[in-house]
């Protein structure tokens, strides 16, 4: 079985280690863990492929910037001939404490511009998403600066462990299915 893992972030070195790019970081972790070929530039995204327990995961890092993530989602679903049920979007979430994971099968965009564009482009809010908490520790009106800043020194202590857990959640989505994976990921 094949899955599309749409890891959200912004391209460019200035965004590389920012909170908004946690999706890219998780995709990079999985690619490294499974010795995937280098990410190749394709239409609307850098992509590579990993295999685990008989499943193929196409890791997609959009080049469209966060606010146009729907273009990459639609293109790669079509190119891979996959139903939306086989797509997992990996993104940051200000409403969750740092490192907390939440796997859901549908819901609102929660103010996240990448998710808003995916929902507008696909015409549905019924698709799996793995949200990685980045907390909301910023002064009023400074949200954009906060998500485009690197993780704090305190957060970086646990960041690699939290990314590893998120990688496990991605693989659980494929190997167990959404419902069973939710029961494991959302309890921890």
pLDDT at 31: 98
Predicted structure pTM score: 0.96
- Residue 152 pLDDT > 60, yes or no? yes
- Answer for the pair 55, 174: CB distance below 8 angstroms, yes or no: yes
Instruction: Count Cβ atoms within 10 A of the Cβ of residue 125 and give its class: 0-12 exposed, 13-18 middle, 19 or more buried.
Output: middle
Query: Which amino acids are annotated catalytic?
Result: 20
Which domains does the chain show, CATH number per domain?
A: 2-185 (3.40.50.1470)
Number of residues in the chain: 188
Q: Choose among 149, 97, 104, 94: nearest CA to 128.
A: 104
pLDDT at 41: 97
Phi-psi map region of 85: left, alpha, beta (phi>0 left; psi -120 to 50 alpha): alpha
pLDDT at 188: 55
pLDDT (tens digit per residue) in 80-133 = 999 999 999 999 999 999 999 999 999 999 889 999 999 999 999 999 999 999
pLDDT (tens digit per residue) in 4-42 = 999 999 999 999 999 999 999 999 999 999 999 999 999
- Answer for the pair 49, 3: CB distance below 8 angstroms, yes or no: no
pLDDT at 80: 98
The span from the CA of 42 to the CA of 60, in Å, is 9
End-to-end CA distance of the chain: 27
């Amino acid at each position: 079985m094949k899955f599309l893992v749409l890891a959200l972030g912004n391209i460019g070195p200035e965004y590389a280690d920012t909170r908004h790019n946690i999706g890219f970081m998780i995709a990079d972790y999985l690619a490294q863990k499974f010795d995937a070929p280098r990410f190749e530039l394709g239409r609307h995204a850098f992509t590579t492929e990993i295999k685990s327990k008989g499943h193929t995961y196409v890791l997609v890092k959009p080049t469209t910037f966060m606010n146009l993530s729907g273009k990459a989602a639609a293109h790669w679903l079509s190119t891979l001939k996959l139903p939306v049920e086989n797509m997992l979007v990996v993104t940051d979430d200000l409403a969750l404490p740092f490192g907390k994971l939440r796997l859901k099968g549908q819901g609102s965009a929660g103010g996240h511009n990448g998710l808003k564009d995916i929902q507008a482009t696909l015409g549905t809010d019924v698709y799996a998403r793995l949200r990685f908490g980045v907390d909301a520790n910023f002064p009023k009106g400074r949200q954009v600066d906060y998500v485009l800043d690197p993780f704090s020194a305190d957060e970086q202590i646990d960041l690699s462990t939290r990314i590893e857990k998120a990688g496990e959640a991605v693989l659980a989505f494929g190997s167990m299915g959404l419902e069973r994976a939710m029961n494991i990921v959302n309890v921890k």
